[in-house]
Chains A and B, each alone.
Chain A
Amino acid sequence: MNQCDPPKENAGPESTKDHLAECPWCAEEMAEDQELMGLIQQSLWDSLAHQSPSPEVWDRIRARLPERKQVRWSDRLVWTWPRLLSDAVVVGLLLALVGLALLRPPWASKRDVPSLPTASQTDDQVEWRGVEEQVPEHVHENGEPTVSAMLPGGTGLFDAMTSEGLLNVGYLYRLKRGPARWEGPARPGSAVTGGSGARNLLP
C-alpha cells in the first residue's frame, strides 16, 4: 500500500470498500492479492485433490487392530499391576489409620499434659491455697473433663481429678526445701483437686 493514505485501522468493511473504490493503487494491490490467493488455491487443489492413499493402508490398519485387541488384557496386566499395587498400599494404610482411630489403646487416650498428683502424694511437699474465683469447666476432645484455673502465672488447663464427683481447685507452691518427687508440668502453678471442695464443677 503506497502512494495513498491507508484506511483507518478501526475502519469497518464499508469504509474499506469505499476506500478501494476511490484508491486505484489499493484496488490494484487487492486485485493482485486476490489473484495470488486464487493461484495458491488452484495450485494446491490441482496438485492434491486427486491424490489418494494406496488401498493397502486399510489392510495395514486392520492387521493391527485385532492384534491390539488380543494383547489388550495381558498389556493391561503388565502395565497396570504396579499401579494396582500402589493403590492397594494406599488403601491398606487408610484402613490401618481408621482402625487405629477406632481401636485406640488406653495410653493413646491420655493427653500430653501429665496427670496431677493426688493430695496424698504432695502432702508433705506442697501447701495448698484455695482459689476463690469461679473456675470454668471444659470437656477435652477425648471426652475427659478438664478445668482451667486462674493461677498467679496465668491461666492453665489441667486434667480434672475427681473425688466423688466433687472438685476443688487450688494452686500449689513447691516447697523450697527438699527435692520434689513429682515433676509437674512446666507451668507456673498446677491445679489439683481434693474431695473437700464446696463447688461441684462437673456435670
Chain B
Amino acid sequence: MGSDKELIARTQAGDLSAFECLFHKYQNQIYRTALGITGDHDMAEEILQDCFLKAFRHMNHLHGDYSLLPWLYRITVNLSYDYLRRHKWRSWLAPLEDFANCLIGADDSRVTSPEKQAEREELQALIRVGIADLNINYRVVIVLHYLQGFSLEEIAYVLDCPVGTVKSRLHYARKALKRRFEKNQRLVGEVVYEPV
C-alpha cells in the first residue's frame, strides 16, 4: 500500500489510485469518529465523504513530513460540528434512545452466559445513553480519548484548543457520566430493596 508520505506525494502528482489507498486506509477510523460524535449513520457517511473531498482539495498544502491522520481528524471534528449545527432538526426528531441504539453493535462473542450478557448490555446501554446525552464538546473529547485513544495533547491539536480546555472537558464529561451512572444505580437499588 505504501507509506502515507509516498501516497500523499503520488496524490499530489494526480494519482487517484494513491488517494483511494489513503481512503481505504483511514475510512473506518474517520467514519467511527463521526458516528460516535453525531450518532447518525447517514450523517457520518456524509462527513466521511466531505472529509476526503476536502482533504483531496487541500492535499497540495500538505508537506512530506506532515502527519495525515491528525489532520483528517481535525477536518472530521469540524465537519461534525457543522453538520450537527445544520441538521439540528434531526436531533429534535430523533429521540435520545435512537442515538444510543445507533451506537449498538456489540460484539457478543466474548459473553458466555445470558445473565452476564444482559447485565453487560444494561450497563452499556446506560453508558451509551449517557454519552449521547452529553454536550457535543464533551462527547467529542470522550470519543477521541476513549475510542481513538488520543492523548490530551493530540485532542488539543485536533480541536485546536489548549490542553487545559481538553482536560476540563474530559473531567466534566466523566463527572456527568458518573452522575448518571450513580443515579441509575440508586434507582435500581431502590427497586431491588423495596419491601414486599
Which residues of A are in contact with B by a Cβ distance under 8 Å? 32-33, 36-37, 39-54, 57-58, 60-62, 64-65, 68
| A54 neighbours in B (Cβ, 8 Å) | 45
Q: How many A-B pairs with Cβ below 8 Å?
A: 95
In this complex, which of A39, A54, A64 has the most chain B Cβ atoms within 10 angstroms of its Cβ? A39
Is the Cβ of B106 less than 8 Å from the Cβ of A36?
A: no
Question: Which chain B residues in 1-46 approach chain A with CB under 8 Å?
Answer: 16, 19-20, 23-24, 27-28, 31-32, 35-36, 41, 44-45
Tier of interface size on chain B: 35 or more
Is the Cβ of B174 less than 8 Å from the Cβ of A47?
A: no
A-B contact pairs, 29 of them (CB 8 A): A32-B178, A36-B181, A40-B142, A40-B177, A41-B146, A42-B124, A43-B123, A44-B36, A44-B131, A44-B142, A44-B147, A45-B147, A46-B105, A46-B106, A48-B32, A48-B36, A48-B103, A49-B32, A50-B105, A52-B27, A53-B27, A53-B31, A53-B44, A54-B45, A57-B45, A61-B56, A65-B16, A65-B19, A65-B53
A interface secondary structure, majority: helix
Q: Kindly identify which residue among A43, A52, A68 contacts B127, using a CB–CB cutoff of 8 Å.
A: A43
Instruction: Kindly list 17 other residue pairs between chains A and B, CB separation below 8 angstroms, not including A36-B181, A40-B146, A61-B49.
Output: A32-B178, A33-B174, A39-B124, A43-B127, A44-B36, A44-B103, A44-B142, A44-B146, A45-B146, A45-B147, A47-B105, A48-B105, A49-B107, A51-B32, A53-B28, A61-B53, A68-B57
